[in-house]
Amino acid sequence: MRLSRCAEGIDIKARLDFNDVEVTGIAIDTRVLKAGDCFIATRGHAADGHAFIAQAIAKGASALVVERPGAYGIPTLVVEDSLLAASRIAKRFYGDPAAKLLLTGVTGTNGKTSTAFLLRSIMNGAHGPCGIIGTVGYGASGALVSAGNTTPGAVDLYRMLAEFVRRGCRSAVMEVSSHAADQGRIAGLEFDVGAFTNLTRDHLDYHATFEAYGEAKEKFIRSLADAGRAKRPGIFVYNADDGEVARVASRVGGRRISFGIVSPADVRAERLAADLAGTRFDLVVGARRVPLALKLLGTFSAYNALAAAASAHASGIGIDEIREGLERVGEVPGRFQVVARGRGPTVVVDYAHTPDALEKLLNFCRELSPRMIITVFGCGGDRDRGKRPLMGAIAARLSNIVYVTDDNPRTEDPERIVRETIEGFRGSPTPFHVVRDRRTAIREAVGAARGGDLVVIAGKGHESEQLYGAARIPFSDAREAAEALEALEVEHQS
């Protein structure tokens, strides 16, 4: 595509060394840039793309889009906001694939991944292959490919959506993070449905205040009714049982569909029962009611199922197809993933890494009436430090024994992270052990458990690496738990 066509509709402040070159790709990261690509220099949270312009030119960039003019020697467009320009250029270059898809965005502090997986299953049954983009990865069928971020950058997003269209998808569901909304990664995407699962404390290392965090989520919801949309306004699906989300709903206009268990809602769960065998309830959509047997476990899974059901209902899918899609989902990677159950202890792995998620997880575990709850968890480095003692206090209050360990320290001192976490144990009689090596912590927790006990390994969920500084060390909680259980079985047999 010619550079001039890529840039149609962009507010261009200056054209330098202009030549209407052929652009063969779009890149905002020089590590993936190929010769012939247009390099867009964006200012990120951690780095400024303008520092890599020379590298982009050396790798064969055909053109540049920048905010700061300079003598670069290749066709250059100067714009006010290169992030916004990246979104608009990618939208045109990839043929506006979102316009060809029934597109649902899922936001919220917790439950985004499970809701997206459940909705994809419903869409697969109702409309054929449904693309998915989120924390676990992206893809249209089979194994998912890692996307790096919960919501990738605009250029990658449009590339993925275009891939879905090429593969015959008629719908796509994606997780929308607060970072993505704040940084303009979803600018220009016209969502048909926007679902809001819940809103509790998280990412204050980035947003600084809970109010700013909530505003970023609300920015996505307000985009459903943006002026100038080519699509008709999107439908807002929201959790009526979450006070913060309900307040957002009271402030935004447009068509809305609520879901809930406690509050009156358009889509409801009634006669709810949850245990290690599954989650059962009557799914009520308007005047229709069907019994539902969800394989996913926990009251929180019921909320995720309701978010998916309400989103599907907003898309015109009937209650019978919704039930079939929900019941097909056997597991969401790292979301109350049962590694083993039987004569020995039951071990589960979960992604819970916020105070609210950990509290809900452990409260559900208590509902299962185990002999003891043994919790393994840690707090991430370079993230909100204020939640560390909160999570420590929750683990102490709802567990019988706790192992505090490392969970992606990144560039922070792991010892400081642990010290701030165990502040939450002050005054608690619950015994805890600091075992920084996560593998050892899992082994010791499983070794301390007996039949009837529940070992909860929280924080990393589906993740396959531990992050220490710049090092990415292969690590899977589920695999380590399985190996610890196997070693325990061998020990008991010998």
| Residue 123 to residue 326: CA distance in whole angstroms | 10
Specify the pLDDT at position 386. 93
- Quote the Cα angle for 110-300-320, to 5°: 110
CA torsion through residues 323, 327, 333, 339, sign: positive
Distances from the Cα of 91 to the Cαs of 67, 100, 156, 186, in angstroms? 19, 12, 11, 11
More confident residue, 391 or 183: 391
Beta-carbon contacts of 256 under 8 Å, excluding residues fewer than 6 positions away, are 235, 236, 237, 238, 249
| Residue 383 to residue 386: CA distance in whole angstroms | 9
CA torsion through residues 136, 137, 141, 142, sign: negative
pTM here? Answer: 0.85
| Residue 278 to residue 294: CA distance in whole angstroms | 6
Distances from the Cα of 337 to the Cαs of 192, 198, 249, in angstroms? 31, 21, 32
Specify the pLDDT at position 148. 66
CA torsion through residues 103, 116, 130, 152, sign: positive
Specify the pLDDT at position 201. 63
| Residue 202 to residue 118: CA distance in whole angstroms | 23
pLDDT digits (tens, 9 = 90+) for 17-60: 999 999 999 999 999 999 999 999 998 767 899 999 999 999 99
Beta-carbon contacts of 137 under 8 Å, excluding residues fewer than 6 positions away, are 143, 144, 145, 146, 147
* Weakest mean pLDDT among 102-116, 261-275, 300-314, 338-352: 338-352
Tokens found for residue 124: 């697969």
R_g over Cα of the chain: 24
pLDDT digits (tens, 9 = 90+) for 279-324: 999 999 999 999 999 999 888 899 999 999 999 999 999 999 999 9
Look up the CATH architecture of domain 3-93.
Answer: 3-Layer(aba) Sandwich (3.40)
**Whether the predicted pLDDT of 335 surpasses 60:** yes
Specify the pLDDT at position 492. 58
Residue type, 402: V
pLDDT digits (tens, 9 = 90+) for 207-248: 678 888 888 888 899 999 988 899 999 999 999 999 999 999
Contact indicator for 31, 46 with CB cutoff of 8 Å: no
Specify the pLDDT at position 490. 61
| Residue 119 to residue 275: CA distance in whole angstroms | 22
pLDDT digits (tens, 9 = 90+) for 414-450: 999 999 999 999 999 999 999 999 999 999 999 999 9
Superfamily of domain 97-328: Mur-like, catalytic domain (3.40.1190.10)
Pick the CATH number of 337-493 from 3.10.450.50, 3.90.190.20, 3.30.70.260, 3.90.1570.10: 3.90.190.20
Residue type, 465: E
DSSP 424: G
What residue spans define the domains of the chain? Answer: 3-93, 97-328, 337-493
**Whether the predicted pLDDT of 494 surpasses 60:** no
**Whether the predicted pLDDT of 144 surpasses 70:** yes
Residue type, 121: S
Q: Which residues pair with 278 in a beta bridge?
A: 275
Specify the pLDDT at position 212. 85
Beta-carbon contacts of 274 under 8 Å, excluding residues fewer than 6 positions away, are 280, 297, 298, 299, 301, 302, 364, 367
| Residue 90 to residue 96: CA distance in whole angstroms | 8
| Residue 6 to residue 43: CA distance in whole angstroms | 20
Beta strands in 321-436, from DSSP E residues, in sequence order: 337-340, 346-350, 373-377, 401-404, 432-434
> What band does 356 get if pLDDT is binned at 50, 70 and 90?
confident
